Structure 1
Amino acid sequence: MSRRIVVIGSQWGDEGKGKIADMLTGRARHVVRFQGGHNAGHTLVIDGQTTVLRLIPSGILHAGTTNHIANGVVVSPSALAAERAELEARDVPVADRLRISSECSLILPSHVSLDAARESGARQAALGTTGRGIGPAYEDKVARRGLRVGDLFNPSRLRERLEVALDYHNFVLTQYYQVDAVDYQQTCDDLLAHAEALKPITTDVTNALRGACMAGDSILFEGAQGALLDIDHGTYPFVTSSNTIAGGASTGTGVGPGYIDDVIGVVKAYTTRVGGGPFPTEQDNATGRHLAERGNEFGSVTGRPRRCGWFDAAALRRSAFNNGLSSLGVTKLDVLDKLESIRVCIGYQLDGQRLDFAPAGADVLARCEPIYEDLPGWQSDTSGVRELAELPPNARAYLDRLAELVDTPIDIVSTGADRTDAIVCRDPFG
């Protein structure tokens, strides 16, 4: 059955999108990354072997699947080359399975310098970025001074556009942030050195996906960061620099929304967040430490520890509406196995009023106090369970309550790190 499905993270990222996407990739002919950069990692565990992907889509490990990095992604040529080399060292035929849009914006070394200068400088509060140049690259894209992958194959055009970009970047770096400039010639040489390897896999991804739609192929669109980090709909300014919600799958690929059949929102059975920003259910205590230790809550790309807290249904209701969720994929249920009691945030108190839908903006959300409902734990091992009927009754009741609170059915439940550690309640590909 031909289906076109978007898989997005529905919280503040790190929900386990990579695993869910990898599980579903076997049913898709094409897998498409539509936003973000190498600041997000998808961790896949297959037969005990761990693979961390940063730019390359999760379907790269599947034979017969074409993987696309679409126009909404910002690309560091050096980071892509390093990731490609890691996979090819394991005999993954990346060149056969990967295509990249000529319209992807490039991340330059000066973008990385700007990112680092902002985070470490005293002129503004740190946002907790990964320092990989993602934000500055998107800024240049919007300002229409950015370079694109296609420029790598036209050296004279690349030199001209790079000179304009670096003239601006170096002025800001040296005069505003009082740090060193980035060398033009070295940057130009480094970029051109990647052209030969990238040219055979560069294409018009939108046209390729149009052909896939016309042929009736199934397509899986995968996002990077979570929906609550969306530049327009997240907890601004503590957000990423791209549209992470499901609508970004259209703007980031050129595939119109009418071609999309379903949206699966991936959520943890609890909530985590990396970096700054409001987090109403955060548990900066023994419970939070327990969740972090059991869930191995450290960034797959940065290694940064994640802040941990209880499941937040009020925040997820907003995310569900923003994304038009068809269903949920719940991950890390097994992390809750040892808890006697589990709390779920069902709404907020704000200035004496009850809110069931998370408010817009970071400042207001930071003033919200969670309203909790206590549910009994199951205190038995669910890791590796693959049938819904084999879950403890209280674990099933917990999942039922989450689905009820968000008014969204659960399609998949992950019960461990490996690809096969999961319960499929409904196959999204039919």
Structure 2
Amino acid sequence: MKNVKIVIGANFGDEGKGLLTDYFCSAFPAREKVLNVRFNGGAQAGHTVVKSDGRRHVFSHFGSGSFNENNLTYLSRYFILNPMLFVKEYKVLESKGVVPRVYIHKDCLVTFPCDVMINQMVEAHRDKNRHGSCGVGIYETIMRTSNHQKTTIGYIKENFDQLANMIANTIEVYVPKRLHELNTELTDSEWELIRNENITENYIDDLLFMFQHTEIVENNIINEYDNIVFEGAQGLLLDADNKEYYPHLTPSHTGIKNAIQILSSVDACDLSICYVTRSYFTRHGAGLFKTECDSTDIKPEGLRDKTNQTNAYQGNFRYGYFDVTTFKRSVEKDLAFLNRIVTVELAVTHLDETGGHLLVGNREKLEVADLLKIMNLNTAYTSNGEKAEDIQCSDLCMG
């Protein structure tokens, strides 16, 4: 029987999904292959993994289990490809001793350079009214492929000799219409950048590199592996359907919905879902944040996140108290997508920063065991550091 784990971020992202994915992938015997499935979002993800030998990497386009030699990445049809960032990250991983092995579903959407530039330029023109985008063109890719031309990786490979014309047509026909919809007028220098032919040539080279270093497949690849770890991106509160936080959302399903759909061809498996949270909440980007506070309220000397730095599109990394009510409601809502028997687990990270407790208010603390009782669950993984070796399974774990 297949062993399947689904890792879901339960908040606004940055919960520790990379850490838990690496932990679960490394738990399988080295002789057994592990399929690490990315099932939503795209290269805007930033999942940090730190190994005991000192290697550190923020995974965006590859599975966070990639430091393990038995790991293979599967970019499912729900993943949005960015060839420019794929090549950059691939080469960084090579420098760290990793040669990624990657399957790509033929129906993955592919980002064009103009998608990224529209995203970044429009955000810049919004000034103080920015949506908090990561600036890598995820939403613009979806809009373009829905309203102009659906460029999947399979279609592009079959029509590779027409790619330059596809991009040129998009720039001259679609981009002006899209900018009109966004009520944004670009400067001459911005238009010059969008029409830059060198960017298009480099992009085509990057796509060719991607073709040469991956294998394009159908979803039946899922049936070829017995050990599968699904790695979610972003968090439940950023789900495209979570209208309470509109418009500051991500254009994908961040919970189990996509993963369950991918597993529809698998009749039987030992399935468990792990919902990950920090011992406090965080948010990188604009939008509603009910429990926001200063980082010094979480830890007297303040906190500094190594991965999430202040940037032009998302702004400052924000901190807040753990919100029990929101957490419980989000997890329960996500579990409504289940159509098979599963084990539900929790993982709480960054406990070393809050004295081993979840921080639910100024000087108000909650034990992990008490959160399990509130959620009516038995299993919790707790982390007091940034490596897989720092994770422990709670005494309440069963089996």
Query: Is the contact between residue 262 and residue 326 of structure 1 (CA under 8 Å) also seen in structure 2?
Result: yes
Q: Which has the higher contact order (CA 8 A, sep 6+)?
A: 2
Q: Choose the corresponding residue for 2:334, options 323, 332, 356.
A: 323
Could you say what the CA RMSD is over the residues aligned between the two structures, in angstroms?
A: 3.1
Query: Is the contact between residue 379 and residue 398 of structure 2 (CA under 8 Å) also seen in structure 1?
Result: no
- Assess, with a 3 A threshold, how the Cα gap between structure 1 residues 283 and 248 changes in structure 2: closer, same or farther: same
Deviation string 1:360-410 (CA, Å, 9 cap, x unpaired) is: xxxxxxxxxxxx9934xxxxxxxxxxxxxxxxxxxxx71112222333334
Q: Which moved more, 1:56-65 or 1:182-191?
A: 182-191
Q: What does residue 338 of structure 2 align with?
A: none
Deviation string 1:26-54 (CA, Å, 9 cap, x unpaired) is: 22621111111221211111113211111
Letter of the 1:321 counterpart: E
Q: Choose the corresponding residue for 1:203, options 196, 207, 216.
A: 216
Aligned runs of 1:146-295 on 2, under 5 Å? 146-153=150-157, 154-172=159-177, 176-179=183-186, 180-181=190-191, 182-183=194-195, 185-200=197-212, 201-212=214-225, 217-233=226-242, 235-251=245-261, 253=262, 255=264, 261-284=271-294, 286-288=296-298, 290=300, 292-293=302-303
Cα distance between partner residues in 1 of 2:344 and 2:89: 32
Q: Choose the corresponding residue for 2:380, options 411, 415, 426.
A: 411
Q: What does residue 344 of structure 1 align with?
A: 360
Letter of the 1:271 counterpart: F
Between the two proteins, the alignment pairs up a number of residues equal to 373
Cα distance between partner residues in 1 of 2:98 and 2:398: 26
Q: Choose the corresponding residue for 1:332, options 345, 350, 356.
A: 350
Describe the SS at the equivalent of 1:263: strand
Describe the SS at the equivalent of 1:401: helix
Q: Which moved more, 1:126-135 or 1:150-159?
A: 150-159
Q: What does residue 2 of structure 2 align with?
A: 2
Describe the SS at the equivalent of 2:88: helix
Report deviation, 1:288.
4.6
Cα distance between partner residues in 2 of 1:428 and 1:145: 49
Cα distance between partner residues in 1 of 2:36 and 2:359: 36
Query: Is the contact between residue 31 and residue 57 of structure 1 (CA under 8 Å) also seen in structure 2?
Result: yes
Q: What does residue 91 of structure 2 align with?
A: 85
Q: Which moved more, 1:298-307 or 1:222-231?
A: 298-307
Describe the SS at the equivalent of 1:61: coil
Q: What does residue 15 of structure 2 align with?
A: 15
Report deviation, 1:256.
5.3
Q: Which moved more, 1:400-409 or 1:131-140?
A: 400-409
Cα distance between partner residues in 2 of 1:174 and 1:147: 20
- Assess, with a 3 A threshold, how the Cα gap between structure 1 residues 192 and 152 changes in structure 2: closer, same or farther: farther
Query: Is the contact between residue 39 and residue 301 of structure 1 (CA under 8 Å) also seen in structure 2?
Result: no
Aligned runs of 1:305-320 on 2, under 5 Å? 305-320=316-331
Report deviation, 1:148.
2.1
Describe the SS at the equivalent of 1:266: strand
Percent identity, aligned pairs only? 24
Cα distance between partner residues in 2 of 1:423 and 1:79: 34
| 2:106 is equivalent to residue 102 of structure 1 | yes
Q: Choose the corresponding residue for 1:52, options 50, 58, 61.
A: 58
Deviation string 1:162-202 (CA, Å, 9 cap, x unpaired) is: 34432344314776422233227445423321343222413
Q: What does residue 362 of structure 1 align with?
A: none
Describe the SS at the equivalent of 2:389: coil
What runs of 5+ residues in structure 2 fail to find an aligned partner? Answer: 336-342
| 2:120 is equivalent to residue 116 of structure 1 | yes
- Assess, with a 3 A threshold, how the Cα gap between structure 1 residues 319 and 142 changes in structure 2: closer, same or farther: farther
Q: What does residue 79 of structure 2 align with?
A: 73
Q: What does residue 132 of structure 1 align with?
A: 136
Q: What does residue 392 of structure 2 align with?
A: 423
TM-score using structure 2 length = 0.83
What runs of 5+ residues in structure 1 fail to find an aligned partner? Answer: 346-371, 376-396
